[in-house]
Amino acid sequence: MSTSNDASENESTYFIDAENAAEMARLTVQDRLLTKTMGGLFPLQIDLAHVQRILDLACGPGGWVLDVARAYPEKQVVGVDVSELMVEYANAQAKEQKLPNASFQTMDILKPLAFPDNSFDLVNARFLTGFMSKAAWPLLVRECMRILRPGGIIRLTEFEATISNSPSAEKLFALSTRAMQTTGQAFSPGNNIGTTAMLGPLLRNAGYEQVQHQAYALDSSTGTEAHLSQFQNAMTFFKLLQPFLIKLGITTTEEVDVLYRRTMEEMMSADYCAVMFLLTAWGKKPA
């Protein structure tokens, strides 16, 4: 699936073909890096004692769900994603890794969620920015309120564009942000995507209580542990993103090809420095 509206079988808004194996591999690597950057599967401040059933929205290939299921064999962990490919892969992984407490379903979270009221103790979602329109956020956060038990926790994690000293990478990041502004996915009119600034207000406006947050920085400069995987991540991401940028008319094939090649070189240079800021925010459904 992709953002294009021209394919009849295709109505997902994810800006990269969601049934793409390269994207699945990219998400698997990104997942590990994220969990590591964030120092674990949950922020330390979240009390998991009363958390039995956990849902992960847009779980991709299921890395987080599987990790949680392994770390907490007594908890039930469910992952949903719009991509059949990813959900099949995740289900196969759960079988192979013998994790009977992890399960996966195909589900489009832009539609009402196929779960009963009060059925989860914690709903987790990371990196929805790729397919969420601004208008979709309040609806989803309200759906989560419905399926959470009173006292249950919602936890959202989003990112802003990477900040680097590479001229070409900066141009590519700016193009991606502009693409999101064009499609109505960016909350900020500037160089930021702006989702991080919305997480607290979204949760508070929906009626969640005790909203808290924690910021993280992912340093992917040359010489850091994350450098190579973020390089591969970025290169896959920008390759998969190219058709979308060209279709939106904000760049040409020639321009983006040149930028792409220069970005690869600059990201591999000895003095490449880059950091990406992340924000995780969580709140409680009133008891």
Partner 1 sequence: MSTSNNTSHDDTTYFIDAENAAEMARLMVQDRLTTKAMGGLLPEQADLSAIHDILDIACGPGGWVLDVAQAYPEKQVTGIDVSKLMIEYAQAQARAQGVSNASFQVMDALKPLAFPANAFDLVNMRFAVAFMPKAGWSPLLKEALRITRPGGIIRLTEFEAPVTNSPAVTKLASMLSRSLWRAGQSFSPDGQNLGITMMLARLLREAGCVNVQQMAHIMDYSIGTEAYASNYHNVMTLYKLLQPFFIKVGVTTQEEVNQVYHQALEEMRSEDYTGVIFFLTAWGTKPV
Alpha carbon distance 178, 190 (integer Å):
9
Residue 190 within binding range of partner 1, rule CB under 8 A: yes
Residue 188 within binding range of partner 1, rule CB under 8 A: yes
Alpha carbon distance 248, 227 (integer Å):
30
CB of 38 to partner 1, least distance (A): 10
Specify the residue, 119 or 224, whose C-beta has the smaller distance to partner 1.
224
Specify the residue, 112 or 167, whose C-beta has the smaller distance to partner 1.
167
Residue 35 within binding range of partner 1, rule CB under 8 A: no
CB of 163 to partner 1, least distance (A): 5
Token pair 């194996």 is found at 21
254: which strand partners? none
Site string for partner 1, 238-277 (x = CB under 8 A): ---------------------------------x-xxx-x
CB of 137 to partner 1, least distance (A): 12
Alpha carbon distance 154, 141 (integer Å):
8
Helices (H), the chain: 21-37, 63-71, 84-96, 136-147, 167-182, 195-205, 227-248, 253-267
Alpha carbon distance 120, 103 (integer Å):
14
CB of 189 to partner 1, least distance (A): 4
What's phi and psi for 67, nearest 5 deg? Answer: -60, -45
Q: Which residues bind partner 1 (CB under 8 A)?
A: 160, 163-167, 170-171, 174, 187-194, 196-198, 200-201, 204, 213-217, 219, 221, 224, 271, 273-275, 277-279
